[in-house]
Amino acid sequence: MRIVRTNCMEGAADARGVTVIIDVFRAFTCAPLFFYYGAAKVILEADPEKARRLKREHPHWLLVGEINEVPLEEADLGNSPADIIKRGTTFFSGRTIVHRTTAGVNGVASAVKTADRVILGSFVTAKAVSSSIRSQNPDRVTLVAMGDRGKKPAPEDEACAEYLEHLLIGSPYDPVAALREVLFQKTAQKFIQGKRPYLPREDPLICLQRDLFDFVLIARPEGDFIVAEPVYQ
């Protein structure tokens, strides 16, 4: 098994083999929570206007998303795991979710064009992701750390890629050093400082939890959509 580490939208566009698109803050921490709370289906839609149109055409669906972190106009929720947890099962159970994000969902939309298989990656599903990949033993695994808005590397996504590499092939990983690298950087501090209501202080606490879920989310085309599908270990 050869591990290839890349990042941002350039990395997603060049994804090959089994590919993990990593978005810790916050897309792919949110996506597993949808299924944990009983969502029936999750559609990953990169185009914000198409996402809004789907909501208008299907008002009983839930639209969850953002543009550059700001909640998407007409959305039921922004891209916040804390907000998802507050609402819980009664809000999400049996619902179809349209999920739009700047980095993670855009990365998936690009990667599905070239990769053999696309997995949504974050700390909360890392152990399940690594177990799934090891069971397949593919020749190549591409870890794409999507970074800050898909444009520049972000420490939380790089740390998650490092953790996945550790779980896959036993490379060194220091969780305390990883926390130090993540918590005191801008991508975490903008939540911790509490200056914007759509960036809750609780979000990093949730996003940095490791191995909460025993399923993997696979992204696959379904007609005109890309859907996220849970596969249990």
Domain locations in the chain? 2-232
**What CA–CA distance (Å, rounded) separates 163 from 170?**
9
The correct answer on CATH 3.90.1560.10 for the domain covering 2-232 is yes
70: its two tokens = 């700001």
Other C-beta atoms closer than 10 Å to the C-beta of 21 total 34
Task: Indicate yes or no: pTM above 0.95.
Answer: yes
**What CA–CA distance (Å, rounded) separates 101 from 28?**
10
138: its two tokens = 């593919």
User: Of 101, 108, 99, nearest to 11 (Cα)?
Assistant: 108
What pLDDT, on the 0 to 100 scale, is given for residue 203?
98
Instruction: Give alpha helix (H) positions in 2-121.
Output: 8-13, 27-36, 48-57, 81-92, 104-111
CB of 111 closer than 8 Å to CB of 208: no
Angle formed by the axes of helices 126-136 and 155-169, nearest 10°:
40
What pLDDT, on the 0 to 100 scale, is given for residue 109?
98
Cis peptide before 180 (omega within 30 of 0): no
What pLDDT, on the 0 to 100 scale, is given for residue 233?
75
**What CA–CA distance (Å, rounded) separates 189 from 173?**
23
6: which strand partners? 144
pLDDT values of the chain reduced to their tens digit, one per residue, 233 residues: 999 999 999 999 999 999 999 999 999 999 999 999 999 999 999 999 999 999 999 999 999 999 999 999 999 999 999 999 999 999 999 999 999 999 999 999 999 999 999 999 999 999 999 999 999 999 999 999 999 999 999 999 999 999 999 999 999 999 999 999 999 999 999 999 999 999 999 999 999 999 999 999 999 999 999 999 999 97
Q: Give the CA radius of gyration of the chain.
A: 16
**Left if phi > 0, otherwise alpha if psi is -120 to 50, otherwise beta: which for 110?**
alpha
Extract long-range pairs of 91-94: CB within 8 Å, 24+ residues apart. Answer: 91/37, 91/62, 92/34, 92/37, 92/38, 92/39, 92/62, 93/37, 93/38, 93/39, 94/38, 94/39, 94/40
Task: Find the angle CA(34)-CA(39)-CA(43) to the nearest 5 degrees.
Answer: 80
**What CA–CA distance (Å, rounded) separates 98 from 50?**
10
**What CA–CA distance (Å, rounded) separates 40 from 196?**
31
